[in-house]
Amino acid sequence: MHQVIIELDNVWKIYKIGEQRIEALRGINLKIYQNELVAIMGPSGSGKSTLLYSVGALDIPTKGAIYLKGKNISHMSESTLAQVRGQTIGFVFQSFNLIPSLTALENVMLPMTFQGKNRDERKRRATELLKVVGLSERMYNRPNQLSGGQQQRVAIARALGNDPEVILADEPTGNLDSTTGKAIMEMLENLHKDYGKTLILVTHDPNIAKYAKRKVGILDGKIKHDGSLEKEVLWKK
């Protein structure tokens, strides 16, 4: 059995907007194991993105604890947390989140800067990663000179910059056509299989979720299903 790499223990996330209290997560207990491929599924407003951000240590819980490789990160300072997060987790977002003024190469190099790697090392690593994702000939192009699929491949290369153990992908094919989306998912799946990366996907699309052996269904801030098969009644209360 693989070791637990991320654990959420009775995690609540409560937002207050004026007098309104929104319980985005309600007592979540979840363990993610090394080298898993997990899909987090749920309709809009279910709490799936909040859950992903909690798993990725981008969001601190209102109550409960989050453990990353056995360390409770719930009360770390933001600077310490940023270092821990940067070393362990890579992020891929639906909207790519590339910096428009930087080339593909510079975008991939950027996260390595915050981990103290020198420029030569950053450039070598970024060049290798862009080759892995099939963009060697486009590394000096800026995002507006790339297609959506190419931009997402740059984002995947960027996520791998610090050789993280975990990759979190939030609707990674949401802005892509079905053919390009399939190619991106096959690339992510290969990273999981060939490089042993733990891959956690957030999606509402069953065609994307089918790549995962484990599916976690969330509704109204609570986990309703956790297993290998998605139930037809997953979204029913």
Any idea where the domains of the chain sit in the sequence? 4-97+164-227
pLDDT in tens, 106-163: 999 999 998 888 999 999 999 999 999 999 999 999 999 999 999 999 999 999 999 9
Burial class (CB in 10 A: 0-12, 13-18, 19+), 171: buried
Mean pLDDT by 10 residues, the chain (237 residues): 88 92 95 94 89 87 93 87 87 92 97 90 96 94 96 95 93 90 92 91 89 93 81 43
Provide the pLDDT for residue 228. 67
For 4-97+164-227, CATH number out of 3.30.70.330, 3.90.870.40, 3.40.50.300, 1.20.1730.10 equals 3.40.50.300
Query: Please, what's the largest Cα pairwise distance for the chain?
Result: 54
Provide the pLDDT for residue 1. 53
Provide the pLDDT for residue 124. 96
Provide the pLDDT for residue 49. 87
Provide the pLDDT for residue 232. 41
Contacts of 62 (CB under 8 A, 6+ apart): 12, 13, 14
